[in-house]
A and B are shown apart, each in its own frame.
Chain A
Amino acid sequence: MSDCQIARAGLLLRDLAELDHDPAIAPHLATCASCAADVEAIRTATRATAELLGSHSPLGSPAALARTLLDDAVARRERRAGAWRRASLTLAAAAIAAWVLVASERAAPLRSAIGFPDPPYVTTMLLRCVDPGDATRVAQPYLRSRGSSAVPGPGVVPSVTLKGPRAEVAQAEIAIAKIDGQLGAVAPGACPR
C-alpha cells in the first residue's frame, strides 16, 4: 500500500485534527501536494458546512418564548381545574339522582318502572289474639322476595315484625289482621286468649 493510499484511508475515517499529528501520515502530507490538497478540500468543506449551519439562529426571543411557556402552563392549569370542576359537579348530580332513585318515596313508581328494587319496608304488628308464631306462618307465603322475613316478637307483648317490599308486607299485614280480628270479625278459633 502506497503512502498516498495510507493517507487516503486515514482521511476517509479519522478526525481531521489527528491527521496532522499522525506519524504515519503527517510526514507524507508535508511532501505530497495531492494528498495535502485532498485533506485541505475535506477540511474546507467540513468547516464551511459547520459554519453555514452554525450561522443560522433561532427566530424567537427567549423572553417571548418564556412568556409563551408560562401562559401555556397557566392555560393548562385552568383547563385542568375546569375539568375537575365539571367532574365534581357531575359526580354530585349523579349522587343526588342516585339518592332520589333509591330513597325517595316519590320515586317509587319510577323505581318499579325501571325494575329498580324498593328499599325493604319494616313494620311491627301488635297482635290481639293470634299467636306470634302463627302470625309468622300466615305472613310467610306473602313475603316471597329475597331478604323478606317475618319474625315473631319476643317478650310478653305478642307481636310480629315483617320485612320486605312494601306491597308484600302490606298483603301479609292484611292477612294477619283478618285472622287477628283487627278488621272486624275474628276468625273462628283464632283468639284463644
Chain B
Amino acid sequence: MASLSTIMSVPTAPDSATALVDLARSGDAESLTALIALVQPRVYRWALGFTADADDADDVAQEAFVLMYRRLHQYSRQSSFDGWLYQITRRVANQRQRTGRRRARLAALDDARRELHAYLTDPGARIDRERLVAIIMAHLALLPPRQRELFDLVDLQGYTPAEVADLTGANPSTIRANLFKARATIRAALLEPLPVAAGA
C-alpha cells in the first residue's frame, strides 16, 4: 500500500526560484512568469488551506503575488524563498478573514454529523470517500488556526515537520504539540462512534 508521503509529493523549493527572483526583480516579464508558474500551485494550495474555499483561495493567491512582487526587493537569500512567500500568503489570508466564515463552518459541521450518521448506519457506505472528506473538512474548520494550519501542511500537503518549521517559523516542539492535538481531534471525530474492540 502506498504511504501518504508517496501520494502527496511536496514540491521542494528549487534553486531556480531564487535565480528567477533576481531576474524578476529587474522587471523581466518572462522570468516573472516562470517564477509564478513555479510557485503558483503551492501558493494556491496554501491559500486553500487557510480559506477552505476555492474562490477565496484564488483571491488570496493573487493578492499574495501582488505583495510578493512589490516586496521582491526585500527578499534576502538568508531565508528560504518558500518560507518568505508562505508568510506573505498567510498574512494576506489572515487579513481576509471574515466573521461570516465561522458561521459557515458551523453549518458545515451539522451537515457532517448527518453524513457521519449515514456512514455508521450504512455499512455499504464504509468507503464513501466523500463523506469521510466532509467529516474531516468540517472538523478541520473548527480547529484553532494554528492546529488547522499544521494539520493541513503535514497530514494533507505532506510536508515534513522540518519543512513546516522552515515555512512557518514555528519551533519543532510547538509544531509537534499542535499537530498531535489536531490529529487527535479529527481522528477521534472519525472514530468516536466506533468503540475500541474488546478483545486482543
Give the interface of A toward B (CB within 8 A): 2-5, 8, 11-14, 16-17, 20, 28, 31-32, 34-35, 38, 41-54, 56-60, 62-63, 65-70, 72-73, 76
Give the dominant DSSP class at A's interface.
Answer: helix
User: CA separation between A28 and B48, bound complex, in Å?
Assistant: 37
* A47 touching B7, Cβ below 8 Å: yes
* B158 touching A50, Cβ below 8 Å: yes
Closest 6 CB pairs of A and B: A45-B132, A62-B37, A48-B129, A34-B197, A62-B36, A58-B44
Q: How large is the interface on B (under 10, 10 to 19, 20 to 34, 35 or more residues)?
A: 35 or more
Task: Please tell me if B106 contacts chain A, counting CB pairs below 8 Å.
Answer: no
> In the complex, what residues of B have CB within 8 A of residue A62's CB?
33-34, 36-37, 40
* B48 touching A45, Cβ below 8 Å: no
User: CA separation between A13 and B154, bound complex, in Å?
Assistant: 13
Task: Please tell me if B199 contacts chain A, counting CB pairs below 8 Å.
Answer: yes
> In the complex, what residues of A have CB within 8 A of residue B43's CB?
58
* B66 touching A48, Cβ below 8 Å: no
CB-CB nearest in chain B for A14: B183
User: CA separation between A4 and B32, bound complex, in Å?
Assistant: 54
> In the complex, what residues of A have CB within 8 A of residue B105's CB?
none
**A65's contact among B36, B126, B136, B140, by CB below 8 Å, is which?**
B36
CB-CB nearest in chain A for B43: A58
